């Protein structure tokens, strides 16, 4: 079961990496991430949400003294 669980994470990572590659090398089909973020940041809510989510990752993995 663990192998299956890990393989799903692996598949998702490859899917994400593939999307990043596609946006890097096929910008006519997929907009690059920085362009996408640029668009997203035109909305105030998106700016708030994306920065909070970014900070939360650091908090969750390093900052919180209550990891569970």
Partner 1 sequence: MFGVAFTSTRAWSAIFLICASFQIYRSAFLDAALFLVGVLFMHRKELSISPRPWHKALAIMGVVTLFIFPHHNFVTMVSSLALLPFVFSSMDFDKSDQTFRATKQEIRSAKVWALVAILACIWELTMYFCADDTGNDRKFPTITDLIDPQLASTLGKTVFLVIWLFFGLQILKVLKEK
- Contacting residues toward partner 1, per CB under 8 A: 1-2, 5-6, 8-9, 12, 15-16, 19, 22-23, 27-39, 41-52, 54-68
CB of 13 to partner 1, least distance (A): 9
Q: Are 30 and 18 spatial neighbours (Cβ–Cβ below 8 Å)? A: no
CB of 66 to partner 1, least distance (A): 7
CA 8, CA 66: separation in Å to the nearest integer?
27
The token pair at 39 is 């668009």
CA-closest candidate to residue 30, choices 38, 16, 19: 19
């Amino acid at each position: 079961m663990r192998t299956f669980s890990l393989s799903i994470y692996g598949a998702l990572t490859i899917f994400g990496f593939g999307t990043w590659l596609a946006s890097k090398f096929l910008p006519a089909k997929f907009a690059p991430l920085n362009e996408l973020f640029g668009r997203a940041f035109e909305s105030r809510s998106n700016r708030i949400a994306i920065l909070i989510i970014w900070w939360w990752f650091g908090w969750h993995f390093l900052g919180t003294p209550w990891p569970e």
